[in-house]
Amino acid sequence: MIEGGKLDRRITLLSTNCQDFGRDEFNAPIKGAPVARTVWAEYAPVSDRERFASAEVTANLSARFRIRWSPDVAGVSPTWWLEFEGRTFDIVGAKEIGRREGIEITAAARAE
């Protein structure tokens, strides 16, 4: 079970499942804003690494977040992303902890 005292950070999970609001003049669907869910999380940095790409040095920050399971976040997947301390993380993986106890999210952000 995830201890409540370790869930000391706020993250916002954003889903690409946007609601359709009809169609525009070209018959393309009009999408609303991404669905956002703000939850308490445990944060653990995984690694910092730099790599050379086209003679450019880029730095990536990987992190692991643990949150409590709920129906609102049960569908979290790599098509989602999250915001934490002003930085946007791409979700790399998500797995259930126990039987609907929690979700462990592995995410990566470009360090700037």
Residue 90's CATH number? 2.40.10
- 16-24 long-range contacts (CB < 8 A, ≥24 apart) are 16/79, 16/80
Range of the domain at 88: 4-21+29-111
The amino acid at residue 66 is R
How far is Cα 15 from Cα 66, in angstroms, rounded to an integer?
A: 17
pTM confidence score: 0.76
SS3 85: coil
Domain count, the chain: 1
Q: How far is CA 71 from CA 13, 46, 93, in A?
A: 13, 27, 18
pLDDT tens series, the chain, 112 aa: 677 688 999 999 998 765 566 677 888 776 666 778 999 999 998 865 655 555 556 667 889 999 999 998 988 999 899 999 999 999 999 999 999 899 999 999 876 6
